[in-house]
Chain A
């Protein structure tokens, strides 16, 4: 069965370190998204991609970067981790440019920056 997986599921890192969260989907979807979930803020969009070599900033992109070298993967990098980036991160994918397709989510990565 097609799926979307995130790794690691849990990560503790120190302030200032570079951290990369992996997202891999086997749906062959063009669209991929990264969100962070924080109490009181719901899910906020960090970055998104419509296809290989395409990346776009979301509403909370500062301090994060992504790259899309193939269809299946959209890794999220925190260049210099900060305590404010402690959060649960969700990756999602959806098919093509169609607005009516739902997004499928990974199980989330809980990141703690100490």
Chain B
């Protein structure tokens, strides 16, 4: 069975603080993909990044960075120097196996205070 756990329900930070959103996954598949999506207050779901199970290189995109560690089944997301516009719900998702289903975690609500 596949499962994604985002233990942090809500996080509140002050602008310019760094914040890390945790994601832990479970799967028996050897090949799988991990994703992060952002859902701003307007409600749409915005794709941020994907990572395959064979590529453990960390990735940085501007103020965003992702740390993928197969040893701990984690795919954490860090926002550096957070801004109010980063306030959103962030979802981690897993896709793998024969079914090819995209399974989501419960999301983390990030509130960045000015």
Contact = CB atoms under 8 A, between A and B. Distances in A.
Contacts of B103: 45
Contacts, number: 54
Given A43-B91, A50-B100, A102 B105 contact: no
A83 B105 CA distance: 24
Given A43-B91, A102-B50, A107 B106 contact: no
Interface string A50-75: 10000010100000000000000000
A103 B44 contact: no
Interface residues of B, number: 26
A interface bracket (residues with beta carbon within 8 Å of B):
20 to 34
A107 B95 CA distance: 21
A35 B104 contact: yes
A42 B47 contact: no
Nearest to B106: A42
Interface in A62-114: 88, 90, 92, 94, 97, 99-100, 102-105, 107-108
Interface of A: 31, 33, 35, 40-45, 48, 50, 56, 58, 88, 90, 92, 94, 97, 99-100, 102-105, 107-108
